Structure 1
Amino acid sequence: MTLHPTRLDDAVDLILSRIDGPLRMGAPLGIGKPHRLLNALYERIAREPARPWSLYTALSLDPPGGGKGLEARFVEPFAARHFGEDFPRLAYVQAMKRDALPANIEVEEFYMQSGGLLRSSTAQRGYASLNYTHVARALADRALNVIVQKVAREPGGTRLSLSCNNDLTQDTVDAIVARGLPRPLLVAEVDPLLPWIGGTAAVEEDYFDLVVAPPGPYPALFGLPRQPLSDAEYAIGLYASALVRDGGTLQIGIGALADALCHALVLRHADNATYRRVLAALDPELERHPAVIASGGLDPFATGLYGCSEMINEGFKRLVETGVIRRKVVDDELLMRRIADGTANLGDQARLERDGEYLHGAFYLGSPAFYQWLRELPDDQRRAIGMRRISEINQLYGDHEPLERLQRREARFFNSCMMATALGAAVSDGLEDGRVVSGVGGQYNFVAMSHALDDARSVLMFRAVREDGGKTASNVRWNYGHTTIPRHLRDVYVDEYGIADLRGRNDEDCIVAMAGIADARFQSGLVEQAQRAGKLRAGFHPPGHWTDNTPVHLSARLRAFRRDGTLPDYPLGSDFTEVEQRIVKALGWLKANTTTPWAKVSTVLRALPTSTDDAEAMARMGLESPAGIGERIEAKLLALGLRATR
């Protein structure tokens, strides 16, 4: 029998009365976490030191803090507006950031908000390094006895939807029961703001033991602020877009590089002539690149793509809206085989159009505009989006491998990494001292799948350089003390300077390809290291065109397209007002020009005689009438940044 408490405290009472002894709880990643219920549990159990609580989860989202100075002046008002004054920050996350979890509460995560818990010893010690597809098994090993999850209620109906997180709950329950353990207590918190998704994400209400529907007001869903794109990010997205084959399958990760890729794919499809002009300016030889010829193309999408990605995000919204994502699949192996071999009849085609789905995901996360889009989709379009178990998205293995192979033809798996080695290993989730930045997530799953599918490719995207302690460093490394993807799974790498196709190549060829997309300032050092190691012939001399791999050359190639709006700052829309967009540019410029003590002094001296006529920006930052020397310096710095980025 399903119970229906209406108060969070009543739900906590029921959970604690049903579970005798330690509480071993699972909660979904991202927005599927019931924040208010978890906070009520935390408050109660923190007062009961004899009651152990172990929470197993991932991606515990926390709105940005204010920081100091100009950053605080910008972030605090934005966060209050974007996330809402009443957004329930997770109490356990705040405690972890202070390394102040009560002794009877432990939290274990397999994926962290990027960089958010680097300084938390509690979080770092509690990190579990797992492939996404192995999480359900690991949770069964921990003998979970409770799972809590936010759900949507069917409009005008009685069913519930796992909606944003169909990734792990059902796989975990099955894994626990398969071990002969009791089925965990399943607790749902209904959120009216969560979009309804039917199909395999929908369950009968009695799937859950407790369904709590706390009264409003309901805090907004966590919305990822959409970020501006740089020249480097656009170049990476443009190069990557040329590796996609029409009629194929698309998986993309999260972040600015994924956004740039999606914009490039839309441009390729909707304005192909302009797309080709941008590519020709970026690299006149790109259409003749062997990897583009073998695995991609530059034409519009006559057939369209099928999206199959662990996360559905902002970019997929735009790809669906513009018709790039539209190739449908059905869960019928025989029908998919007839489509593949060209023997499908009119009835097959009619069924595919009626029942097919063009986008599959395991969880979704995006901006408020993205959630509104999902809520307002017409029924026929919503039915074409299927939320699936992670075991069905991130791997081929299991009962449906022949079907999934037919559906996932010409698959392109695009993910981001922080660094890559000249021999083809990738660093995506952690630092060489062992600290975790984010997590493996599904990246290894997709790289491995690309090698298991005959016509698939794995493409790892990264920025060629980074700023580290006020110094510029190369992200093409000879070696690094931690790797996420081993070099024997090397395939394609893309940065702002081009494409390096490493699949099946020997070590020397890999080194040459990776050095060829490294920033020019670091190429000679990389070549010398390879030669000292005996991995590159002593007589090798870098080609002359490698010297063009600089930010100055890159910006010159794209400048006209940045100015005419072909490559806008916010291709997927912005959560910032127009004045905030100007301030974001100014703050970015100031950050880049104050990375060392000397740079800070120099920038402050430059700022002292500066004034601005952007009264709106000054008012937004509360600096229209600066009081005291500190505020006057901040106002001068902001004026300098606004002028430099005008």
Structure 2
Amino acid sequence: MAEAVRTDSLETAVDLLLARIDGPLRVGAPLGLGKPHRLLNALYARCAADTSRALHLYTALSLDPPTAGKGLEARFLAPFVARHFGEDFPRLAYVQALKRDAVPAHIEIEEFYFQSGALLGSTQAQRRYASLNYTHVARALADRGLTAIVQKVAASVDGRRLSLSCNTDVTFDAIDAIVARGLPRPLLVAEVDPELPWLGGSAAVDADCFDIIVAPSGPHPKLFGLPRQPVSDVDYAIGFHASTLVVDGGTLQIGIGTLADALCHALVLRHTDNAAYRAVLRALGSPRADDPALAPFAQGLYGCSEMINEGFRRLVESGVIRRKVVDDAALLQRIADGSASAEDRARLEREGECLHGAFYLGSHDFYRWLRELPDGGRGAIGMKRVSEVNDLGTDVPLERLQRRDARFFNTCMMATALGAAVSDALDDGRVVSGVGGQYNFVAMAHALPDARSVLLLRATRVTAGRTRSNIVWNYGHGTIPRHLRDVYVTEYGIADLRGRCDEDCIAAMLGITDARFQQTLRDTAIGHGKLRRDFDLSPAAATNTPLRLREALAGFRREGTLADYPLGSDFTAVEQRLVRALAWLKSNTATRGGKLRALLAALGAGPIRDTEAAARMDLATPANPGEFLQARLLSLALARTTT
């Protein structure tokens, strides 16, 4: 193995990369946090200026901070984005070009997963989207004849070791797939980021595994921190219903977003304040509120998730995630059947890991937690290939012992009454996000004997001021086919569809549909001969309303059991008040009539009484009619959302 070439110059690193590769550049970069923004920007700029060097970039989840917009949104977002991401955050140049459909003809950007909703308007991005299961990406990169991989890494103090840290997901699999085709091993280029937490184990390699190592001089931009969003009543109801499906001693996989945050909070509460946890379940009408199986976790859970995020941090800290596994089927079998010796248990404690992931992404607090973990705590986290996490691999007996009683929780946008899921795209073909690992985990749930796939979704959404059901008869696009239907959870409960006939599936889905849409869905099913004509909706289903949900959870909101930000917040106290107010204003001005009513009400609202909010939004002394109107609208929204 040749010694890596080291430099502190991004331009020199690009020079070296271009010199080592003849012809078109076919470059792969990790998804999310592991993308080397500064190096990619330098490479993109060089290629954009030289039409003789074609560049094909294969990647996913190209993270871009939000843009400020205009009006009240700009007044709120601009200072927050500058503080949270940093004034010097290196936005990806190719993403900015994609959003304008301005990528040069000799450059191609191909992604298999988009930042949610960010590229709906880009025809260049939409045309070059690759619909892939996460576990199939390495094969696809080999098909494309990848010639280089660029990746952000952490370095050991002496620089002799590098950690792939946040993205062990595809790199190793891709190299193996390319070499197995008889193709040359791709050039490996590392950008060292001192902000990136060091994780050892299978994430760490000798520095000379890379061909080029660039360590740009400081100051170093912040890592991309996901701003934590407030958890709504709907989110909490979904999270608590879902938490009743988790088995002590089992395995947990979760996705990202406020539904996952709510689920994690529910699991923590189940373990640390079981009485309060059951009280919330009773308020929601859960039939399992008094189930003895929902006691605090005696064995704890093993986390096995393609992404490790904020929720897993809280689950580890609270002692929910603590069941360790090792790659020894015989030992785990003895643990399972109670025949393990003291030596077995000592080895499990010493060598075992309780949390496996293929990549991680979260807040700045989450990254700080990873950096500051003691060696023992960090050693219990193992970063693995995506092929190891999202699939059963070659040692199925071992995987079954490790992943016993697995519950794979993912979110979807919509579901059909017959059990198909819509998670990644619209019916016109435009991609919102991507398939990612969702199909992998759904299929694995059916392959493991005691596992379940649980898809979480909100029962309704508001589009252009109109409330629509997310449970529909059919839709022009599907992500998960109905023959893989398993469990769905909305704020109104749980629908268990596994192995059930169509009529029973429809009845179960009606039971978790918003009451305003049940009759139409029922009549459609009857009209298509899928439901008997005398089918009556359950009386309980008539209570599936936002008002009932709000009333059920109001007390828990007031007392703090269900906080707006259960996993912490990146917003200041005044910003949290503004987030609520601006969300109310957006919801109540989505239609022409709503805008008119809000404007009339705002004119009589008076000045902003919350002086901190007025100062934060620079509206304490409006200087012109536009600012005066903004101030009055904000005053109205703050008054309506202050309890």
Superposed pair shares fold, TM > 0.5: yes
* In structure 2, distance between residues paired with 1:446 and 1:298: 24
Match of 1:94 in 2: 96
Q: Secondary structure at the match of 1:616?
A: helix
- The C-alpha deviation readout for 1:31-87, integer Å capped at 9, x for no partner, is 100000000001111110111000000000000000111011100100000000000
Q: CA deviation at 1:609?
A: 1.1
Count matched residues.
Answer: 639
In the TM superposition, 1:282-431 aligns within 5 A as 282-287=284-289, 297-398=293-394, 400-431=395-426
Task: Judge conservation of contact 1:244–1:297 (CA < 8 Å) in 2.
Answer: no
Match of 2:53 in 1: 51
Match of 1:14 in 2: 16
2:429 to 431, 434, 440: 434
Query: Aligned partner of 2:112: which letter?
Result: F
* In structure 2, distance between residues paired with 1:279 and 1:402: 36
* In structure 2, distance between residues paired with 1:325 and 1:190: 31
* In structure 2, distance between residues paired with 1:231 and 1:297: 25
Match of 1:543 in 2: 538
Task: Judge conservation of contact 2:326–2:352 (CA < 8 Å) in 1.
Answer: yes
Task: Judge conservation of contact 1:418–1:428 (CA < 8 Å) in 2.
Answer: yes
Deviates more, 1:276-285 or 1:113-122: 276-285
Q: Give the TM-score normalised by the residue count of structure 2.
A: 0.99
- The C-alpha deviation readout for 1:382-404, integer Å capped at 9, x for no partner, is 00000000000000032x22211
* In structure 2, distance between residues paired with 1:389 and 1:582: 41
Task: Judge conservation of contact 1:491–1:502 (CA < 8 Å) in 2.
Answer: yes
Match of 1:28 in 2: 30
Match of 1:198 in 2: 200
* In structure 2, distance between residues paired with 1:604 and 1:368: 38
Query: Aligned partner of 1:40: which letter?
Result: A
Task: Judge conservation of contact 1:243–1:297 (CA < 8 Å) in 2.
Answer: no
Match of 1:448 in 2: 443
Q: CA deviation at 1:336?
A: 1.4
2:631 to 614, 632, 635: 635
1:624 to 596, 620, 638: 620
* In structure 1, distance between residues paired with 2:156 and 2:522: 60
In the alignment, structure 1 residue 457 sits paired with structure 2 residue 459:
no
Q: CA deviation at 1:155?
A: 3.4
Query: Aligned partner of 1:34: which letter?
Result: P
Query: Aligned partner of 1:383: which letter?
Result: G
- The C-alpha deviation readout for 1:136-158, integer Å capped at 9, x for no partner, is 00000000000000000123562
Deviates more, 1:43-52 or 1:149-158: 149-158
* In structure 1, distance between residues paired with 2:255 and 2:122: 25
* In structure 1, distance between residues paired with 2:286 and 2:150: 54
Query: Aligned partner of 2:249: which letter?
Result: G
Match of 1:474 in 2: 469
* In structure 1, distance between residues paired with 2:508 and 2:524: 15
Match of 1:232 in 2: 234
Match of 2:554 in 1: 559
Using the aligned pairs only, state the percent identity.
69
Query: Aligned partner of 1:600: which letter?
Result: K
Task: Judge conservation of contact 2:278–2:289 (CA < 8 Å) in 1.
Answer: no
Q: CA deviation at 1:287?
A: 4.0
Task: Judge conservation of contact 2:279–2:289 (CA < 8 Å) in 1.
Answer: no
In the alignment, structure 1 residue 569 sits paired with structure 2 residue 564:
yes
* In structure 2, distance between residues paired with 1:54 and 1:172: 16
Q: CA deviation at 1:297?
A: 3.7
1:597 to 573, 592, 596: 592
Task: Judge conservation of contact 1:336–1:407 (CA < 8 Å) in 2.
Answer: yes
Q: Give the TM-score normalised by the residue count of structure 1.
A: 0.98
Q: CA deviation at 1:9?
A: 0.3
* In structure 2, distance between residues paired with 1:190 and 1:405: 37
Match of 2:43 in 1: 41
Query: Aligned partner of 1:609: which letter?
Result: G
Match of 2:113 in 1: 111
In the TM superposition, 1:481-500 aligns within 5 A as 481-500=476-495
* In structure 1, distance between residues paired with 2:88 and 2:8: 20
Q: CA deviation at 1:332?
A: 1.4
Over the aligned positions, Cα root-mean-square deviation in angstroms equals 0.9
Task: Judge conservation of contact 2:159–2:207 (CA < 8 Å) in 1.
Answer: no
In the alignment, structure 1 residue 609 sits paired with structure 2 residue 610:
no
- The C-alpha deviation readout for 1:169-221, integer Å capped at 9, x for no partner, is 00000000000000000000111110000000010111100111111111000
Q: Secondary structure at the match of 2:6?
A: coil
2:183 to 178, 181, 184: 181
Query: Aligned partner of 1:378: which letter?
Result: P
- The C-alpha deviation readout for 1:487-542, integer Å capped at 9, x for no partner, is 00000000000000000100000000001100000000000000000000001111
* In structure 2, distance between residues paired with 1:208 and 1:401: 32
Q: Secondary structure at the match of 2:5?
A: coil
Query: Aligned partner of 1:7: which letter?
Result: S
- The C-alpha deviation readout for 1:454-482, integer Å capped at 9, x for no partner, is 00000000000001121100000000000
Query: Aligned partner of 1:332: which letter?
Result: D
Q: Secondary structure at the match of 2:294?
A: coil
Task: Judge conservation of contact 1:24–1:145 (CA < 8 Å) in 2.
Answer: yes
Match of 2:258 in 1: 256
Match of 1:511 in 2: 506
Q: CA deviation at 1:335?
A: 1.2
* In structure 2, distance between residues paired with 1:155 and 1:528: 67
Q: CA deviation at 1:344?
A: 1.1
Segments ≥4 residues shifted beyond 3 Å: none
Task: Judge conservation of contact 2:89–2:222 (CA < 8 Å) in 1.
Answer: yes
* In structure 2, distance between residues paired with 1:43 and 1:286: 58
Q: CA deviation at 1:603?
A: 0.4
* In structure 2, distance between residues paired with 1:59 and 1:41: 18
* In structure 2, distance between residues paired with 1:133 and 1:318: 28
1:275 to 274, 277, 296: 277
* In structure 2, distance between residues paired with 1:283 and 1:320: 29
Task: Judge conservation of contact 2:459–2:490 (CA < 8 Å) in 1.
Answer: yes
Task: Judge conservation of contact 2:301–2:321 (CA < 8 Å) in 1.
Answer: yes
